Amino acid sequence: MQSLFLLIPEFHRYSLEHILWLLVGVASTVFWIKLGKKQSDEAGQRRIGLIQSLISVGFWFFITVYLAITEQPVDLNLVLPFHISYFMNLLLPIMLWRRSFFLFEITYYMVMGGCIQSLLTPALDHGFPHYLNFRFFVVHLGLLQSIFYAIFVYDFKPTWQSFGRAFLWTNIYCGFVFGVNYLLGTNFLYLSKKPNVPTLLDLFGPWPWYILGAEFLCLMMYTVVMLPFAFSKQPEQSPATKA
């Protein structure tokens, strides 16, 4: 298997493969939203939401187990779920099953702000059908799919109060991950060093200055993804909320 994977070409941004992955994500999102809207009650909507969100969890789990078994020594950066996308991947099924507006308002900004950037500029070396390629796109597209499901099926909308809470919890999570990186020698969230491919972080110089730049980018991205809801009438707490 390893020798076969060596024959897989490198991934190239904005190639036909990249565009096809994005189109598959759009089609899948539309399918699950339509299926969710067809359900006659809340229990059916929650069940469909849970099923679609668990697909990406399953991909992440089995590929991660494969990595843990076959890669020696094990790269902790690849098998532990502390990159924010993989952490959100495990959290969103809970959000959809519990129909939790609290989890939605935090994860909305993290997913929309982070995943869109990641999908447009993937930090990915391996092309299709390498397992890391599969894991990257299935998880990141699945995250967006789950958020759009909550918006269009549950009718959840973020508020400006959500904006503040999300930014606070993002920094709390980054502080936690910084400690994990220090203890394990890992580079989750690229808090220890920048990725080895060009990203927007290159605009802000070496460590630790690019982390301050990342805070600025975070605020900018959170503001951009808030704009579609900036002037909508939305109560402080969704009527469908569960904690």
The string of pLDDT tens digits covering residues 130-164 is 888 888 999 999 999 999 999 999 999 999 899 99
Range with the poorest average pLDDT among 4-13, 61-70, 88-97: 4-13
With 50 as the cut, is the pLDDT of residue 243 above it?
no
What the block records as the tokens of 85 is 């996308």
DSSP string, 47-110: HHHHHHHHHHHHHHHHHHHHHHHH-SS--HHHHSTTSHHHHHHHHHHHHHHHT-HHHHHHHHHH
Taking residues 177-202, what's their average pLDDT?
86
* Higher local confidence (pLDDT), 60 or 197: 60
Task: Break the chain down into helix, strand, coil percent, rounded to 5.
Answer: 70, 0, 30
Give me the residue label for tokens 């995250």: 143
Q: Does the pLDDT of residue 48 top 50, yes or no?
A: yes
Q: Which of 10-24, 53-67, 226-240 is the least confident region?
A: 226-240
What per-residue confidence (pLDDT) applies to 132?
85
Average pLDDT, the chain: 87
Q: What is the pLDDT of residue 11?
A: 84
Q: Measured between alpha carbons, how far is 95 from 103 in angstroms, rounded to an integer?
A: 6
Percentage of the residues of the chain whose pLDDT score is greater than 90? 54
Provide φ and ψ at 32, rounded to 5°.
Answer: -70, -35
The per-residue pLDDT for 237 is 47
What confidence score (pLDDT) does residue 82 get? 92
- The answer to whether the peptide bond before residue 235 is cis (omega within 30 degrees of 0) is no
Q: What percent of the chain has pLDDT over 70?
A: 91
Instruction: Please calculate the CA angle 63-56-125 and round it to the nearest 5 degrees.
Output: 55
**Cα–chain-centroid distance for residue 93?**
12
State the pLDDT confidence band at 234, using cuts at 50, 70 and 90: low
Higher pLDDT, residue 183 or 237: 183
Q: How is residue 179 written in tokens?
A: 């400690």
